[in-house]
Amino acid sequence: MTGRFLAAGDYGYDDLKIGDRVETASLQVTAPVIDAFADLTGDRFAIHMTDEGAQALGFARRVAHGLLVLCLVDGLKNQTPAQFRAVASLGWDWSFRKPVLIDESLHAVMEVVAKRETKAAERGIVTLSFQVMNQSDDVVQLGQNQLMVLR
């Protein structure tokens, strides 16, 4: 990743340059968070619910749902001091690289990798690349998000 880290502020399409970056805060993925996601989605696969279930499949402890981690990263993006004037998320292209185990921490670095204008003069589309890392800075997830932003 290259480019400048954006300072706190409100950024529209025209303010952003290819290579601009934002780093999120970190958060710990705890049992109550995993349990709440399982309750909400109904995804109670054994690796998510107990250490024993995870260990039976070769993991040291409970594993957070991959989609939970993606949702948490989107939330972290929306809490950074540098904010995009977002209208809507248009899609995600995402990869799960390593498991996020219970009580691990995660954070992300986003980079503007593409921009394109739209027919609506007041909006543009920005492509953000994400690297999601754990507390050891191992990449656990990565991908891109197409974000419609105001100009």
**Residue 109, domain CATH:** 3.10.129.10
Q: Is residue 34 part of a domain?
A: no
Number of domains making up the chain: 1
Q: Is residue 13 part of a domain?
A: yes
Q: Are 83 and 11 in contact (CB under 8 A)?
A: yes
Q: Is residue 2 part of a domain?
A: no
Which domain, by its residues, includes 130?
9-28+64-150
Directed axis angle between helix 66-77 and helix 31-41, to 10°?
110
Q: Is residue 77 part of a domain?
A: yes
Q: Is residue 45 part of a domain?
A: no
Q: Is residue 39 part of a domain?
A: no
Taking the C-alpha atoms of residue 148 and residue 84, their distance in angstroms, rounded to an integer, is 9
Q: Is residue 74 part of a domain?
A: yes
Residues of the chain falling short of pLDDT 50: none
pTM (two decimals): 0.93
**pLDDT score, position 22:** 97
Q: Please name the residue that has the structure tokens 């949702």.
A: 71
**pLDDT score, position 57:** 96
Q: Which two tokens stand for residue 95?
A: 């990869």
Going from the C-alpha of 85 to that of each of 1, 65, 115, the distances in angstroms are: 22, 29, 14
Q: Is residue 15 part of a domain?
A: yes
Going from the C-alpha of 52 to that of each of 59, 60, 65, 86, 114, the distances in angstroms are: 9, 9, 16, 42, 44
Question: Smallest Cα–Cα separation from 123: which of 90, 82, 78?
Answer: 90
Q: Rg (Cα) of the chain, in Å, rounded? A: 17
| CA-CA-CA-CA torsion sign (83, 87, 92, 96) | positive
**pLDDT score, position 2:** 64
